[in-house]
Structure 1
Amino acid sequence: MNSQLFATACMLLSMVSYQVSASFAKQLFSHVSPLTVTMFRLCFAAIIVIVIFRSWRILPKFKTLNWSNLLCYSASLGLMNLLFYNSLSHLPLGLAVGLEFIGPLGLALCSIQNRRDLIWVSCSILGIVLIIPWGQHNGNFSFIGMCLAIGAGLFWAAYIYFGHKVVRQNIGMHMLSIAISFSALLLLPLELWQHPHELFAVQYWWLGLTIAILATALPYALDLVALKHLARLHYSILTSLSPVIAALTGCILLAEQLTVFQWIALLLIVTASIGIAVSSQRPASD
């Protein structure tokens, strides 16, 4: 029981760490662009994971790797981060995370085999509908931000899809080092074209490093600890709480307020995600 509680605490701390990093990133937007913040995170994260996993040992295997899947995996990671940070410049943290969650949730919904699981489809659709302040003026909502967040979710789904393919290459956590490094390299030309001076704004590097640690190094370390003690179902259920934790983090650190309907929408998305996680553990039936 103690190990279960410890693992649960690690998972919750991991999610809080990630959302705190997002709140720091959002505050950094007043000084540099979301693209630059994305580059900060990816560049510092690449250095961190390469050192932690000593990924230079994978260099001799480069010629034998399936680079088509690795590049798709890397591109999905980079574009997921880029679109998510751009969505944060238009939406409250909780709404951006909730809408981004639609990507992996949709991927899971595509594999449903029980008709009764269609209720989770309904929950997710209703959640999206309630997030939008129909016919009301609401300064915390933007259709552009919505599209960016859902786009980030689609690339999150692609990241999961290609991740399943890359993991078959048996290169362990080195796949993460390669993905982060190459996603940074893929976005570098765009950064140098649009914001050639921001990337070298040394006064903001410490914030970029902090974001990378809170969004990458610390969550992955905590997740690895949690996975040793938590069943896959429990892990999935806890992960489903991310939108609510994001909304609470945005409320506390960024003073972002959501409407009652938007809170209900996030809870519906969380419910759909938990429902799919539970359904995936049941044998298929008509």
Structure 2
Amino acid sequence: MPNTQFIAVLYMIMSMVSYQISASFAKQLMTVLDPFSVVTLRLCFAAIMIIVMFRSWKILKRLPYLQWRHLLLYSASVCLMNVLFYASLGRLPQGIAVGLEFLGPLALALLSVQRRSDLVWVLLAIAGIALMVPWQQATEHNFSFLGAAFALGAGCCWASYIYFGQKVARQNIGMHGLSIAISLSAAVLLPISLWHNPDAVLNTQYWKPALLIALLATAIPYALDLLALRQLSKLSYGTLSSLSPAIAAIAGMLLLKEHITFWQSLALLCIMTASVGVTFRAARKPAPETS
């Protein structure tokens, strides 16, 4: 049903907007905390919020019967994606880090192409990302190849998050799959952070901003992503993900009066065209691919 496809696209857009709003808060918090502590606080608070929101204690009786292979791989993808991306942000300009990370979902979309007509939208999205990212900053003396490796790793984990997120979304456990993934991620990171930097994690003055980041960057977008992945294919999701840097650029222009160059305007046009094209392509299909 076409309406379900458009609703799924709307979920994705809302998810990306929420995540972009959270970025400014996370950036401020990272001026006083290390990235690993920020990720830990974010996921710990997100786990509490999601468990309460979705009353995930109801899933306890079904735990022995779940497909744990997919759930564990999905959880690992969530955990590593967050850790690696925040690590890259601490070493790279944000535009470079975001651009490199987006190679993951776009590569997955490219590998998921089954018709030549679909290839057009993916290549448009790739062109848009290439034009949007400030690659000239990569020549600066403070460019970190380790940061670039972290960003590329985060992109690979993002592709894995999409792939296994689809499988988790089809286990018919609702949002409880997200509760399990976030809780496992928090359980892994918390003892490491308590050993690495206990003062940061236990200092209550950081809890309020971390709580807001958890809501905007984890609880809301990940829940919306799972809803979207029920209806969208890997091709559609990967291509539509390219809207995120475009949303960030438009927000900067409207809210912060930031200047958008000619090439970035052309990038926005490419990304918007690709997103519209893949949306209408998805709407013509009765169901998403299951591979």
Per the TM superposition, whether the score is higher than 0.5 is: yes
After superposition, where does 1:66-215 map in structure 2 within 5 Å? 66-120=67-121, 122-123=123-124, 126=127, 130=131, 131=133, 133=135, 137-138=139-140, 143-215=145-217
Aligned partner of 1:46 in structure 2 is: 47
In the TM superposition, residue 89 of structure 1 has moved relative to its aligned partner by 2.5
Contact 1:18–1:219, Cα closer than 8 Å, also in 2: yes
Cα distance change, pair 56–111 in 1 and its aligned pair in 2 (3 A): same
Flag the 1:269–1:94 CA change in 2: closer, same or farther, 3 A: farther
**Counterparts in 2 of 1:108 and 1:121: CA distance versus 1, 3 Å:** closer
2-structure distance, mates of 1:142, 1:272: 31
Shift of 1:281: 6.0
Shift, 1:145, TM fit: 3.7
Give the Å deviation of 1:64: 1.8
Residues 90, 245 of structure 1: alpha-carbon distance in 2 compared, 3 angstrom cutoff: farther
Alignment CA distance shift 1:252-1:186 (3 Å): farther
RMSD: 3.9
The one-letter code of the counterpart of 1:206 is K
Which residue of structure 1 aligns with residue 27 of structure 2?
26
Tell me the CA shift for residue 274 of structure 1.
5.3
CA distance in 2, matches of 1:94, 1:268: 18
Is the alpha carbon distance of 1:61 and 1:267 closer, same or farther for their aligned partners in structure 2, counting shifts above 3 Å? same
SS in 2 for 1:197: helix
CA separation in 2, counterparts of 1:210 and 1:135?
Answer: 30
The C-alpha deviation readout for 1:46-90, integer Å capped at 9, x for no partner, is: 111100110011111122222222111111001111122222224
The 5 Å alignment of 1:228-239 reads: none
Is 2:129–2:242's contact at 8 Å kept on the other side of the alignment?
no
Q: SS at the partner of 1:169?
A: coil
**Contact 2:8 2:232 survives alignment (8 Å):** no
Contact 1:55–1:177 under 8 Å retained in 2: yes
Q: CA deviation at 1:259?
A: 6.1
Give the deviation of 1:246 after TM superposition. 2.0
> Letter of the aligned partner of 1:61 in structure 2?
R
- Pick closer, same or farther for the CA change 1:270–1:142 going to 2, 3 Å: farther
Rounded Cα–Cα distance in structure 1 between residues aligned with 2:60 and 2:137: 56
| Aligned mates of 1:250, 1:134 — CA distance in 2 | 20
Change (3 A) 1:120 1:15: closer
**Cα 1:263–1:144 shift into 2, 3 Å:** farther
TM-score by length of 2: 0.75
Shift of 1:40: 1.3
Q: CA deviation at 1:164?
A: 2.4
1:95 shift after superposition: 4.3
* Matching residue of 1:56: 57
Mark the CA change 1:280 to 1:10 in structure 2 (over 3 Å): closer, same or farther.
Answer: closer
With over 3 angstroms needed to count, the CA separation of the structure-2 counterparts of 1:199 and 1:270, relative to structure 1, is farther
Unaligned runs of 5+ in 2: 286-291
The structure-2 alpha-carbon separation of the partners of 1:38 and 1:257, relative to structure 1 and needing over 3 Å to count, comes to farther
Tell me the amino acid that sits aligned with residue 58 of structure 2.
Answer: R
Structure 1 residue runs of 5 or longer lacking an equivalent are none
1:128: Cα distance to partner? 6.0
Q: Which moved more, 1:92-101 or 1:209-218?
A: 92-101
